[in-house]
Amino acid sequence: MLSYLWARLFTLFVSLVLSSLIIFILIEAVPGDPASFMLGINATDETIEALRKELGLEEKILNRYFNWLIGMLSGDFGVSYTYRVPVQDLILERLIVSLPLTILSLTLAIFIAFPAGMIAAQFQGKKIDFSIMAASQVGIAIPNFWFAMILVLIFAIHLRWFSAGGFYGWDSGIVLGLKSLTLPAISLALPQASILSRVIRSSILNTLTEDYIRTARAKGLSQRKIISKHAFKNALIPVLTILGLQFSFLLAGAIIIENVFFLPGLGRLIFQAITQRDLIVVESVVMLLVFSVILVNFIVDLLYLIVDPRLRK
């Protein structure tokens, strides 16, 4: 068990170092140098020189990389060039929108997908299975931002139940805050729930062909008990894997959906930063996104440990 844990921790560490290196090198590779790139063609030599100093571009590349890393570890992500505020403050301000959105839609997806997938598996080949599978097939095919637009058209423009976009802010109360996240979360959850329910169904059906299921039948367990006591937990292992992989889709989806609803989240921040050529913000936000994907997969690895005793040697 310890060796598994150490191996995972080691992988986590190496992945973080390597991914930060990749991001750093890519940002370094901009045409010209970062300072002149950020200022555009109209910049004078003096302003470029000033920015170079501010960014520390005079230093050696390796030093800069380590300074960046050490800075991030101590919570200092640098100063945004366009906003003139520390990047960590910007990120934090946006994270309180993006993080609840992601968690909300993930929860929603799980709560839809598990019952749907399990029902489809239990009634395999029946009408209800067919309907759930057909619905999920369509759910996968719908682009989430288009679904978001249709939700806006129906619930905001026609029914006027929700506002078409924007965020009230948590200061105006949790209810209002959650209300402005409802449509975004639903549109994000739809494709996730569709994929997940298919994975859950097929994973349970696969598990049901195992020899130990036959053993359970011979013991006199009913089909329902077999699914809940034997198939479900065993089917969870591949589902966990997919859940971890899906997280990166969820993040990407959140960035796009924030644009549909004009939510002031990380997605909006990064697109503004791209148009304003604020490389420091881009670099930090991308690092944060990649970090969260790696972290989630690490957590999934730890969950395996709870589910599967074979790893606990």
Residues 207-246 that bind other proteins (CB under 8 A): 209-212, 214-223, 225, 229-230, 233-234, 245
Question: Which pair of tokens denotes residue 212?
Answer: 């130990």
If one asks whether residue 201 binds other proteins (CB under 8 A), the answer comes out as no
If one asks whether residue 87 binds other proteins (CB under 8 A), the answer comes out as no
Nearest to 145 by CA among 187, 86, 193, 194: 187
Give the nearest distance from C-beta 56 to other proteins in angstroms. Answer: 19
Cβ(8)–Cβ(301) below 8 Å: yes
CA pair distance 20, 287, nearest whole angstrom: 7
For other proteins, the binding residue among 67, 95, 271, 305 (CB under 8 A) is: 271
Residue 106: other Cβ atoms inside 10 A: 22
For other proteins, the binding residue among 41, 73, 141, 159 (CB under 8 A) is: 141
For other proteins, the binding residue among 43, 119, 140, 176 (CB under 8 A) is: 140
Nearest to 271 by CA among 245, 290, 252: 252
Stretch near other proteins under the rule CB under 8 A, chosen from 8-16, 42-50, 51-59, 64-72: 8-16
Residue 138 or 302 having the CB closest to other proteins = 138
For other proteins, the binding residue among 13, 66, 111, 146 (CB under 8 A) is: 146
Residue 31 is classified by DSSP as S
If one asks whether residue 138 binds other proteins (CB under 8 A), the answer comes out as yes
**Ranges within 98-127 binding other proteins (CB under 8 A):** 125
Stretch near other proteins under the rule CB under 8 A, chosen from 64-72, 97-105, 112-120, 255-263: 255-263
Buried/exposed code over 1-32 (b: 16+ C-beta within 10 A; e: otherwise):
eeeeeeebeeebeebbeebbeebbeebeeeee
CA 159, chain centre distance (Å): 30
If one asks whether residue 309 binds other proteins (CB under 8 A), the answer comes out as yes
Query: x/- string (CB under 8 A) for other proteins, residues 150-179?
Result: x-xx---x----------------------
- H or E stretch covering 137: helix 127-141
If one asks whether residue 19 binds other proteins (CB under 8 A), the answer comes out as yes
CB neighbour class for 42 (10 Å; exposed up to 12, middle 13-18, buried from 19): exposed
Residue 65 or 249 having the CB closest to other proteins = 249
Residue 4 or 168 having the CB closest to other proteins = 4
If one asks whether residue 53 binds other proteins (CB under 8 A), the answer comes out as no
If one asks whether residue 193 binds other proteins (CB under 8 A), the answer comes out as no
Query: Strand pairing partners for 79?
Result: 86
